[in-house]
Structure 1
Amino acid sequence: MFERFESLTVIRAFLRMETPLAVGARAALEPTGTELPVIKDPGGLPFIPGSSLKGVVRSHAERLLRAVDRRPELWACDPMGDPCIPEDLKRKLVEDASAGGAFNDQRFTSEVLSGSCTACRLFGSPWLAGRLAFKDAPLHEIPPGSLVQIRDGVAIDRDLGTVRGGLKYDFEVVIPGTVFRIEIIAENLTDEELGLLLTALRFWEEGFLPLGGKRARGIGWGRLEIREVEQIQASRLVDYLIRGEKRQRSVEELREAFARRYLSGA
């Protein structure tokens, strides 16, 4: 998957929050700070961790893949309950690759890759490195006024459905209208695989993909705006290394490539 450079694609986008956003840190550093602060960079500005972005996109992509489920090329396993490479299959693959006394890494990788679901081949698994990387998303645009707000919350007794006494807390949110800069790095993806990713992102463009915590309370909803898709290809690698030339790709053309390859006749 990575032993040879084939392409590197950068998807750049902006995420404009339409409701408050709560992506929390573990604890406040200030002695009198809120109990659930938003995560901030060393300069004290909120950002969205790349791991949070990747988790949301992967979870949504897996839902779409399960809805389509056109095996063996287009599907998603249940990594927590029924992984595509269970332990007994992993042991068998290791034994097969070790036949003759020497471990054949190339053979093992090939067999794991062929047995893995689409989501694991893109986002990674315990046996495969992911080919998608999500950068931490810094602030791009800040609306007037205070950047964060403090909100009150109460714990609910799940058995009684009522407020549990003495369990009031507060939490911090980033205000609506804040814009974050998103970058997704894709290595050695085909046009069809890029189209799958961009198709999954369409829900975020429509504002249907919440992010962070407290989502049941209407927090974390925003719209993604894809600005550009730039690609460095192996066939044009010298042009990039010498002159920095990159190819601009069309979002709709890539989505169409995915649809033609996998969804025609569905």
Structure 2
Amino acid sequence: MENRPCYDLDTLKSIIKIEGKIRNETPLRIGYGKSQSFTDATDNPILRVNGKPIIPGSSLKGALRSLAEAYVRSWSEEKYSFVCDLEDKECNSCDENKYCIPCIIFGFKDLSSRVYILDAIAENYSISQRTMVTISRVFGGQLPRHLYTLDYVEPGSFFNFSMFMYNLNIVDGESEEWKNKAVEVMRYLLKTLVTEGIFIGAKKSAGFGLIKLTSGEVELRKLPDLTRPVKQNLMEVIKSW
């Protein structure tokens, strides 16, 4: 453990909570598979909880992790540009000389995640249906008798967003070099989510699923007194980066 300083979650040093609103800029579709019910009005219903559309926390975390891996691979520093092979069960990315930054942030194997993202539940939303056609890859035209309908959340709908980060201080930065690299990645992810947005859900290549974080508040709790939070506007914090 002494040779693996990225294992530092045994002591609570800081907690950051981010709460805000996600808006889908384009139609959003996160489904639960082809309907097997005769009561559904569509072939491809969207995922809901208590009747409200949701963006699962696992979907958000997976999209952000993929973006983090692509960002880290673009670095010229060989020591930090390494990304763990998630398919390699023997992979050991964290040691005293080389760290897999995405794994330090999002966890892997016996390394716990520092980031926790809750399901984003829709607040103000509307749902529509669209009839789609299946395109023949051979002829490049519509396949006869291959129409289907799907549900989607209309653009401009809002979802609640909640994220927690442990021992990763994106507000003030960190002292250790490897952790500062992790902070840099988290700042990049949040800045991208606010400014450009990320794609999530189905039919992304057809323009569906672009979401942005439109508002938010950062709550920082750190030693020596974890009970006294410091709250800041997320948009102002991001502007200062």
Q: Flag the 1:212–1:10 CA change in 2: closer, same or farther, 3 A.
A: same
The residue that corresponds to 1:153 in the other structure is 132
- Mark the runs of 5 or more structure 1 residues left unpaired by the alignment: 91-110, 258-266
The residue that corresponds to 1:137 in the other structure is 120
Matched, 1:194 2:201: no
1:35-94: per-residue Cα shift (whole Å, max 9, x none)?
Answer: 2111000x21111100011011111111111112423235434434xx5xx62x66xxxx
Give the structure-1-normalised TM-score: 0.72
The residue that corresponds to 1:176 in the other structure is 155
- Quote the Cα distance in structure 1 between the aligned partners of 2:95 and 2:160: 32
Q: Which moved more, 1:168-177 or 1:66-75?
A: 66-75
- Larger strand share, 1 or 2: 2
**1:59 aligned partner, one-letter code:** S
Aligned with 1:221 (options 206, 210, 216):
210
- Quote the Cα distance in structure 2 between the aligned partners of 1:124 and 1:9: 17
- Quote the Cα distance in structure 2 between the aligned partners of 1:254 and 1:38: 32
% same residue: 27
The residue that corresponds to 1:121 in the other structure is 104
- Larger helix share, 1 or 2: 1
Matched, 1:49 2:46: no
- Quote the Cα distance in structure 1 between the aligned partners of 2:58 and 2:155: 22
- Quote the Cα distance in structure 1 between the aligned partners of 2:55 and 2:22: 10
**1:58 aligned partner, one-letter code:** R
Matched, 1:36 2:25: no
Q: Secondary structure at the match of 1:16?
A: strand
- Indicate conservation of the 8 Å contact 1:21/1:175, yes or no: yes
- Mark the runs of 5 or more structure 2 residues left unpaired by the alignment: 1-7, 174-179
- Quote the Cα distance in structure 2 between the aligned partners of 1:126 and 1:213: 28
- Indicate conservation of the 8 Å contact 2:72/2:80, yes or no: no
Q: Shift of the alpha carbon at 1:185? A: 0.9
Q: Flag the 1:140–1:75 CA change in 2: closer, same or farther, 3 A.
A: farther
Q: Secondary structure at the match of 1:169?
A: strand
1:100-115 matched pairs, under 5 angstroms = 112=94, 114=96, 115=98
Larger radius of gyration: 1
Aligned with 1:62 (options 40, 62, 69):
69
Q: Secondary structure at the match of 1:119?
A: helix
Q: Shift of the alpha carbon at 1:23? A: 0.9
Q: Shift of the alpha carbon at 1:113? A: 5.1
- Quote the Cα distance in structure 2 between the aligned partners of 1:75 and 1:23: 31
Q: Secondary structure at the match of 2:155?
A: coil
Q: Flag the 1:20–1:122 CA change in 2: closer, same or farther, 3 A.
A: same
The residue that corresponds to 1:107 in the other structure is none
Give the structure-2-normalised TM-score: 0.79
- Quote the Cα distance in structure 2 between the aligned partners of 1:28 and 1:78: 35
The number of equivalent residue pairs is 221
